[in-house]
């Protein structure tokens, strides 16, 4: 986590949403390799689904399960570099039992200063109006990338 800048943005600049099988995994993998662009270590946080007024019951379990699985791999390694420890810290954060807006904002604090920050989460496609307002409250200038097939 970067603590160099008190004014470090703590929100996504873009959200990628899309229909199932619309290549969101491909896009995540491609974007993840670009310098100057931050995506969370786990592709889909499902934050807006997990914390919705009509939450998806499976969202939190899926988020925790994915992060715990990857965290298990990192815990078995003794040769972790600084970058690996940074990833491990993200995974520990992602595996939190309960999430709220502060948790979601902290996800993006792992970005380097100046990085473009985003999240790829197909389940945000079709969010109810209330949750779209929550997205807008976190960043009124957020860009939405919609993938369809």
Domain with 120 in it: what CATH number?
3.40.50.300
- Which portions of the chain are predicted below pLDDT 70? 1-8, 78, 80, 82
Residue 40 resides in a domain? yes
* pLDDT score of 6: 42
Residues 6+ apart with CB under 8 A from 17: 121, 122, 123, 124, 125, 144, 145, 146, 147
The answer to whether residue 6 sits within a structural domain is no
**Structural domain boundaries, residue 18:** 14-56+99-147
* pLDDT attached to residue 80: 66
Q: How many domains does the chain have?
A: 1
Domain annotation covers residue 71: no
What pLDDT is recorded for position 40? Answer: 94
- pLDDT of 35-61, one tens digit each? 999 999 989 898 999 898 888 888 878
């Amino acid at each position: 986590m970067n603590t160099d800048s008190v004014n470090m943005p703590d929100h996504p600049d873009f959200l990628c949403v899309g229909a199932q099988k619309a290549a969101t995994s491909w896009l995540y993998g491609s974007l993840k390799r670009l310098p100057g662009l931050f995506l969370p270590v786990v592709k889909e946080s499902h934050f807006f689904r997990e914390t919705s007024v009509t939450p998806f019951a499976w969202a939190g379990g899926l988020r925790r399960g994915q992060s715990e699985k990857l965290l298990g791999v990192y815990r078995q390694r003794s040769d972790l570099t600084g970058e690996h420890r940074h990833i491990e810290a993200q995974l520990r954060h992602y595996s939190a039992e309960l999430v709220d807006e502060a948790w979601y904002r902290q996800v993006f604090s792992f970005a380097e200063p100046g990085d473009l920050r985003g999240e790829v989460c197909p389940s945000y496609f079709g969010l109810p109006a209330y949750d779209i307002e929550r997205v807008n409250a976190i960043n009124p200038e957020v860009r939405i990338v919609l993938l369809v097939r």
